[in-house]
Amino acid sequence: MNIPLSAHKPPLRVLIAAPRGFCAGVERAIEIVERAIGLYGAPVYVRHEIVHNRFVVDGLKAKGAVFVEELDEVPDGAPVIFSAHGVPKDVPAAASKRGLDWLDATCPLVSKVHREAERQLEAGRHILFVGHAGHPEVIGTFGQVPEGCMTLIETAEDVARLDFSAGEPLAYLTQTTLSVEDTAEIIAAIRDRYPDVAGPKAEDICYATSNRQKAVKRIAPASDLVLVIGAPNSSNSQRLVEVAERMGTPARLIQRASDLAPEWLDGVETLGLTAGASAPEELVREVIDLLGEFREVREEETISARETITFKLPRQLTS
């Protein structure tokens, strides 16, 4: 990118959201890959992107990780890791049948949804699953129960089209990375139509997703533009863009500082900045450093919550 430089750089106030960036599930998944490479030696195979961030994936490739789409691409005897988004039950079963050493990097909060699905099935309930079609987490959760036991709900309008009777035993669960507001609307529609529907003891949308959306709500009203660092296939990052736009503030999703177009900042005096749960802090600093090349940046961090959650690693990596 060619940045026009001048003797006088106009000021730019940058409101940095906190929390932002890596969540505990992402940190755990990355550490699983790094420790596996140390334990087994390179190459270690990873089924699908370990997390939705190209910078992270490329960094792990450089250390010896090989990313594949399906298990049949993994050589016999090689170690394989399943991504943080979770996988259908038949994937680890197939890995075990082939005698592969496998490690599950599924986020524990996604695994919690999997267990809830199993419990609702055991209770004889059909599951209404709120999520986005085609997302790996949705595919993994549907793969926890037999086909036909779960129905995908993407909008409140989908609820109106359901043909279950009022007395039919139903339960609802949700993807962990959804819009808090959209999901509340859909759940309200489900409960309105099916008052006896069973729900999870605690909401399925994860703490990191909720916290990052709340943080954007704090900075967006005072910003002329909000930048969200994250991948196009990152659900939680896309939701942050939507949150800012709902607050009436233009927002753009970028993967790296190089994606930033200088003309976006025309007329911008205050810039909001955040990062999705799969984006490392290194990318935040990269964007701020680039901004500093053509604007006099004044950083202000806005803290809406503090996160202290950590997750245990698989036993194979701690023994």
Longest dimension (CA), the chain: 72
CA distance linking residue 67 with residue 43, whole number of Å: 10
- Crossing angle of the two packed helices 108-122 and 24-40, in degrees rounded to 10: 100
- Give residues with Cβ within 8 angstroms of 191, minimum separation 6: 197, 199
Q: What are the Cα distances from residue 90, in Å, to 1, 48, 126, 142, 301?
A: 46, 15, 21, 11, 44
Spatial strand order in the sheet of 80-82 = 65-68, 44-47, 80-82, 102-104
CA distance linking residue 130 with residue 273, whole number of Å: 28
Q: Which of 137, 147, 242, 282 is catalytic?
A: 137
Q: Would residue 137 show up in a list of annotated catalytic residues for this protein?
A: yes
β-pairing verdict for 270-275 and 11-18 = parallel
Spatial strand order in the sheet of 251-254 = 251-254, 225-229, 270-275, 11-18, 296-303
Tell me the torsion sign for CA atoms 78, 83, 84, 85: negative
Which structure tokens are listed for 162?
């359901």
Q: Are 173 and 204 in contact (CB under 8 A)?
A: yes
Q: How far does the chain reach from its first CA to its final CA, in angstroms?
A: 48
- The residues annotated as belonging to the active site are 137
